[in-house]
Amino acid sequence: MLVLGIEGTAHTVGVGIVSEEGVLSNVFHMYRPPQGGIHPREAANHHAEYLPKVLREALNKAGVSMGEIDGIAFSQGPGLGPCLRTVATAARVLSLKLRKPLVGVNHCIAHLEIGRFTTGAEDPVMLYVSGGNTQIISYAGHRYRVFGETLDIGIGNLLDKLGREMGLPFPGGPRIEKLALQGEKYIPLPYSVKGMDISFSGLFTAAVNKLGEERKEDIAYSVQETAFSMLVEVTERALTHLGKDEVLLAGGVARNRRLREMLIAMTEERGASLHIPPDDLCVDNGAMIAYLGLLMLKHGKAMRVEDTAVIQRFRTDEVEIPWEVKRHRKIYRRAPGAEAIIEPVDFLGKKAVKKIRIRKGYRIKALDEQLRKERTRKEAKIMHEVKHLGILAPIIYDIEDFEITMERIEGKTLANTLNEMRGEEVSEILSRIGEMAARLHNAGYAHGDFTTGNMIMKDGNIYLVDFSMSEKNAGIEEKAVDLHMFEESFKAAHYTHLSCLSDFYSSYAASGDEEIIKHVEEIKRRRRYA
């Protein structure tokens, strides 16, 4: 089976041709604005101009004629409306003219599937890093689900915007990478990790404010070290949460050598494997669209022309996956956590655990020590204080620079047990969690990693643990992130109980601030491809 795929979600127009054996051709051309960022209409005009040339070259390289093509695929979303509509129109024309089946595919899933196809990864956690997208994606329950993502701008957007502020031409990412190689000093910058979500806008603002005060090379170096450490941390947290041991790197920023070095260090420390497709398959390209189209067509997912309208905000988990994704056979369940390792100990005759924030090899020493010390002190302080609110949390016995010795809670995390419960049991538990969140927020605290993985059930009681991302005197943003994080992680990990999620919000609204619930919707709208 031969499938032709057309990509055109943003700055790149591409055509790829694939068979079930491999990629036959992959040709693309990037729109480079003379100044500033991407203008959607100008990019669409670029796609219309270059698509015929790219199409001819792809056919020539593959050594096939249009008559030999068995199906047509195109990027249906997410992306920029004018660009998407341009390639969708071209795909429809080809399909009608050749009388070949047509299918629109999700751009993000295309990155994941071409990565699995070309690297041999079976069931990975994908770190997807591009201009408009920064997401942690993995398979669960017949869909690819988003377990974490940027709450504002994508990593590629951060680097390109910083490049523009430095007077560098588009795209800025590769030029920032070159500048960073000459960096000599680490400049502390905002490090914003919220569970498995991240935020880059504060980092960008702080970096721009350093221009004129610090060398550009040092700023570039510091931005990369900070931003990439955030990315690797949330990827490791997803591995821990899901019990997986494969990472797949995808997207244009995947070509950055420093990001690759950091992921190699993290996966080696965990005994996991890292998979990276060839560079031309990391960037936006037609071959990945063609391959996902091939999978969809093989499983009877051809579309009528009238059903091929583009979807600018095409969420990854909207697509049901009809093919089998095998659970990886070498799950490394004894891997350390993303934040720390937990060791059972005896403390003056009491059953206890020692939480040790170990050195992370992917982070430079200055940043690593700063984070470990700050998080250890803050966690101990807030964990002690929230007990006065009636929230169950471990008792602290001792604290050192990077270690906390605390009460051992003998129970199971809700992440591991909730899916085994009946619907009415889950509803009751979610109501209690909603009340817990409201109590925490009413007192001015945000947990920062509010997921069922950080809740332990013991003797019918729910204990809240892992306060390393918590904030005191939190604002509406931090509190809304707690709710947003709980909702998104619940949808991904407990999709069989989605109907119960309303019980969490109803309980929260009964004793919490409804403005915080409204702000959750603001966070969702803010994300470019939400």
pLDDT above 90: residue 522: no
110-116: average pLDDT: 96
How far apart (Å, rounded) are the C-alpha atoms in residues 454 and 355? Answer: 14
Question: Would strands 134-140 and 143-149 be described as parallel, antiparallel, or unpaired?
Answer: antiparallel
Average pLDDT, the chain: 93
Q: Which of 218, 317, 368, 449 is catalytic?
A: 449
The top-level CATH class assigned to 412-526 is: mainly alpha
pLDDT in tens, 188-234: 999 999 888 899 999 999 999 999 999 999 999 999 999 999 999 99
Contact 39, 33 (CB under 8 A): yes
Residues 6+ away with beta carbon under 8 Å from 319: 106, 109, 143, 144
364-391: average pLDDT: 95
Q: pLDDT tier at 530 (50, 70, 90 boundaries)?
A: very low
Encoding tokens for residue 189? 């910058």
How far apart (Å, rounded) are the C-alpha atoms in residues 54 and 14? Answer: 7
pLDDT above 80: residue 5: yes
What pLDDT shows up at residue 332?
46
pLDDT above 70: residue 158: yes
172-182: average pLDDT: 96
pLDDT above 50: residue 333: no
pLDDT above 90: residue 113: yes
pLDDT above 90: residue 418: yes
DSSP state at residue 150: B
386-405: average pLDDT: 95
Position of tokens 């979610």? 430
DSSP state at residue 313: T
pLDDT above 60: residue 27: yes
Neighbours of 247 (CB within 10 A): 27
pLDDT above 80: residue 143: yes
How far apart (Å, rounded) are the C-alpha atoms in residues 254 and 131? Answer: 11
CATH architecture of 119-280: 2-Layer Sandwich (3.30)
What pLDDT shows up at residue 308?
97
pLDDT above 70: residue 524: yes
Of 104-118, 201-215, 218-232, 317-331, which gets the smallest average pLDDT?
Answer: 317-331
How far apart (Å, rounded) are the C-alpha atoms in residues 149 and 447? Answer: 18
pLDDT above 60: residue 331: no
pLDDT above 80: residue 362: yes
Where does 32-87 show beta strands of DSSP type E?
Answer: 71-77
What pLDDT shows up at residue 529?
42
459 tagged catalytic: no
Highest mean pLDDT among 14-18, 165-169, 327-331, 376-380: 14-18
Q: pLDDT tier at 336 (50, 70, 90 boundaries)?
A: low
pLDDT above 70: residue 528: no
What percentage of residues in the chain have a pLDDT greater than 70?
Answer: 97
Of 93-102, 241-250, 426-435, which gets the smallest average pLDDT?
Answer: 241-250
67-86: average pLDDT: 96
- 119-280 matches 3-114+281-318 in CATH topology: yes
What pLDDT shows up at residue 35?
73
User: 522: number of CA atoms within 13 Å, CB side?
Assistant: 12
Q: pLDDT tier at 523 (50, 70, 90 boundaries)?
A: confident
Q: pLDDT tier at 148 (50, 70, 90 boundaries)?
A: confident
CATH architecture of 3-114+281-318: 2-Layer Sandwich (3.30)
**Which residue ranges make up each domain of the chain?**
3-114+281-318, 119-280, 341-377+396-407, 412-526
pLDDT above 50: residue 133: yes
Q: pLDDT tier at 243 (50, 70, 90 boundaries)?
A: confident
Position of tokens 């993000």? 108
